[in-house]
Structure 1
Amino acid sequence: MRGFKLLMVCLFFLLAGCGYKDIDKRFFVVAIGVDKSNSDHGKYKITFKVAIPPDKPSAKSNEAEIITTDSDSMTEAVRITRAQLDKEIDFSHTKAIIFGQSLVQKENVSEIIDWFVRRRDIQRIAYTGVGSPTALEVLKVRPAFERLPGNSLFLYFGRSGTEAPYVITEPLFDFYRRIKEKGIDPVLPIIQAEGDKYSILSSAIFKNYRMNLTLNDLESEILNSFLGRLKKTDFKIQANGESFFVFADSVKLNYDLLAGEKPTIHIHCKMSVTIEESKQTLALEKMHQLQILTEQEIRKNVLKLVKKFQQANVDPIGFGLRYRGSHLNNQTEWQKWEDIYPEIEFTMKAEVKVRGTGSIY
């Protein structure tokens, strides 16, 4: 009995040491930016976007504080920032991680990514991207229509707001998986800061922890289709004196690895489209001709993109991962794929069904 009482007393002292801090004693970081530093205090400029809660609980506010620190590591940056604030830093609401364009073009960012993945209070579903000209400038943007700090940026990637075909969403867990896995390379959206708004029209492909290749809007749109993240979009068709736009309400883009004397990747595209805009008068009798022109243009753009990947020796689609999945997973097979990929041949078949010319005939 005396032993039981002693145990209860010990447990009482343990409970008294609870270190939980109330919400009003926390600073919530909603986004983090990492740039290349130009000072002598460290090689990184770390930016924290801290949400400032409104005075009234029912009010909405996009007020945020931008805090920057120069250091040689993420851990040191957090420690220095804590010494500058009177409240605890909380990363549980961090939903965006932005890397500065000059940083990822010149530096190996493996240690930075490693910190984000290891940090227990940062969500693995946080969105990642490249900030242009810098991550700091992107985090400074405060659109007039934004009701919560950073919410405008989150809506781009969460698909709960805009569904722009050029925006590639890459959460932290998938970015880390792709950058570690053999046979598939990560691709991040490039977020351009333009005054009080964002512009996301291009994307960046990474290789060996560095930014290796930049894609324009059309190339990002096609890659989104390959990744299965784009269900509907529009394309510009310009050939044989014809110029018109098609809206695709159904896009299926897949591929097969064909073994043989010369390995081939055969791409198959199936699309259902409607003519959305045209500079010429369109007649129903021309549907077959418009269909052929659309198939030719789609085939040309897709093959041009995959050959661009091949020449840059990058693989954001995952051809190499598919090869590894169908062969013995050993070093010999991987070396064989690295020799095959620069010489592999691409073929494509496009099937386009033109459903009509919109509401005007």
Structure 2
Amino acid sequence: MLSMLSLSMLFVSLLSGCGFKDMDKRFIVKAVGIDKTNDQDNPLRVSLKLAIPSSQIKPGQTNTFQIVSDDAPTITEAVRHLKSKVDKELDFSQSKIIIFGKKLAEERLNNETIDWFLRKREIQGMTFMALGDPSAEQIIKIKPKSERLPGDSLFLSFDQEGTESSFIVTEYLFDFHRRLSEKGLDPYLPVIRPLNDMYLIDQVAVFDKEKVKDILNPEETRVFNELSKKISKFEIETRTDTVQFALSVSKFGYTYTIDDSKTTSPVLSMHMKMRGQAAESSQSFNYSKWSLYEQEAEKEAASRYEKVLMKLQSIGVDPLGLGLRYRATRHNSEKEWEQWLALYPLLRFHIEVNINLLGSGGIK
């Protein structure tokens, strides 16, 4: 009986000594923003979006949050000092998005910058990543009227649970980390811009292994999303002297090969297949000219893909992983990487698109 009592007392003492804290003694960190400052001693500004729980959420009323920021030489030091500005423990287990400021990304964004997030056990590899323009702090301060929970608008946008847009590119922490070190696969991040009390996400920033090289415009971003994610729902506009219409694509896929038999003029041949129907047209569709409509749309589609591929080539980045594919299909150890570095600037793109126009849409 005495031994059982001793064991019970020991168990209770162990529980009282553990680090567990009740939810009412925690601040849930929903988003993290990292910016560059002009202070050489404290070059990083860390901003946290803290959710303030409410007993009930009324229709049309957004949940409240608190923003805390601190400047420090490292993220670790900033978070440690931020704890002195709040009355509860910071809980990062529900952090779903990390935003880096544009100024920081243009100067340096590498494995050293994201090291803290990789080592923090509470932060998941599936955490979304993005670039904030002009700064990460300004982005996380936005409070959309439609948002019921802090950061909810961004989460719904990126995981496609809410809106489904061909302009929105999604990137995760684990994938960004892999791209920073993988040969033949460069990083990218979606760009979030403020638009009054809303977010605008229709651009993507492409990186080398250290910093931003360029930001694609919305149309280029949409094409990049189609190529990188092979999304199946998007629109292609065809405007020629003979026909003008928008094609709503419902199925899309492609394959490609790289021919380096002629080292002075290597060729990437890409074959695409897509199906869809007319979403909008300035004229009536004539079934006798059905093949003409498909041919015109194929030319337009091939041109838009070729332009984006050539732009990425001119910038000197490879976020689509063409170099990784080249390395995987050759077996010359490190030589294939050196070969790819020499071939990529010379690569010519041959795009062949096959479009199956299913119908002209419903006219009521």
TM-score, normalization by structure 1: 0.93
Contact preservation (8 Å) 2:187, 2:209 = no
Pair 1:18-2:43 in alignment: no
Matches within 5 A, 1:219-298: 219-240=220-241, 242-262=243-263, 263-298=266-301
Pair 1:349-2:352 in alignment: yes
The Cα of 1:163 is off from its aligned counterpart by 0.7
Question: More displaced, 8-17 or 116-125?
Answer: 8-17
Contact preservation (8 Å) 1:157, 1:167 = yes
Amino acid at match of 1:321: L
Once the two structures are superposed, residues 182-232 of structure 1 have per-residue CA deviations (whole angstroms, 9 ceiling, x without a partner) of 111122111111111011111011112211121122222222222234111
Rounded to whole Å, the distance in 1 between the matches of 2:30 and 2:79 is: 14
Rounded to whole Å, the distance in 2 between the matches of 1:15 and 1:133 is: 47
The Cα of 1:284 is off from its aligned counterpart by 2.0
Question: More displaced, 247-256 or 224-233?
Answer: 224-233
Cα distance change, pair 102–241 in 1 and its aligned pair in 2 (3 A): farther
2:150 equivalent in structure 1: 149
Cα distance change, pair 154–108 in 1 and its aligned pair in 2 (3 A): closer
2:80 equivalent in structure 1: 79
CA RMSD of aligned residues (A): 2.4
Equivalent pairs: percent with the same residue?
A: 36
Once the two structures are superposed, residues 220-270 of structure 1 have per-residue CA deviations (whole angstroms, 9 ceiling, x without a partner) of 222222223411111111123532211011111332223422432111110
Pair 1:107-2:108 in alignment: yes
In the alignment, structure 1 segments of 5+ residues that lack a partner are none
Cα distance change, pair 71–305 in 1 and its aligned pair in 2 (3 A): same
Matches within 5 A, 1:1-361: 13-39=13-39, 42-56=42-56, 61-240=62-241, 242-262=243-263, 263-328=266-331, 330-360=333-363
Question: More displaced, 30-39 or 311-320?
Answer: 30-39
Rounded to whole Å, the distance in 1 between the matches of 2:84 and 2:320 is: 44
Contact preservation (8 Å) 2:133, 2:192 = yes
Rounded to whole Å, the distance in 1 between the matches of 2:332 and 2:73 is: 38
Amino acid at match of 1:144: K
The Cα of 1:38 is off from its aligned counterpart by 3.2
Question: More displaced, 323-332 or 97-106?
Answer: 323-332
Once the two structures are superposed, residues 24-77 of structure 1 have per-residue CA deviations (whole angstroms, 9 ceiling, x without a partner) of 000000000111113466111111000000034899742110111111110001
Rounded to whole Å, the distance in 2 between the matches of 1:238 and 1:142 is: 39
Rounded to whole Å, the distance in 2 between the matches of 1:4 and 1:330 is: 64
In the alignment, structure 2 segments of 5+ residues that lack a partner are none
Rounded to whole Å, the distance in 1 between the matches of 2:5 and 2:227 is: 66
Question: More displaced, 75-84 or 5-14?
Answer: 5-14
Question: More displaced, 228-237 or 97-106?
Answer: 228-237
Amino acid at match of 1:202: Q
Rounded to whole Å, the distance in 2 between the matches of 1:16 and 1:79 is: 24
> What secondary structure is seen at the aligned counterpart in 2 of 1:348?
strand
The Cα of 1:345 is off from its aligned counterpart by 2.0
Cα distance change, pair 249–206 in 1 and its aligned pair in 2 (3 A): same
The Cα of 1:162 is off from its aligned counterpart by 0.6
> What secondary structure is seen at the aligned counterpart in 1 of 2:229?
coil
Amino acid at match of 2:360: T
Once the two structures are superposed, residues 305-336 of structure 1 have per-residue CA deviations (whole angstroms, 9 ceiling, x without a partner) of 11111111111111111111122363222112
Rounded to whole Å, the distance in 1 between the matches of 2:9 and 2:66 is: 45
Contact preservation (8 Å) 1:225, 1:252 = no
> What secondary structure is seen at the aligned counterpart in 1 of 2:169?
coil
Contact preservation (8 Å) 1:191, 1:198 = yes
> What secondary structure is seen at the aligned counterpart in 2 of 1:237?
strand
TM-score, normalization by structure 2: 0.92
> What secondary structure is seen at the aligned counterpart in 2 of 1:346?
strand
Question: More displaced, 111-120 or 74-83?
Answer: 111-120
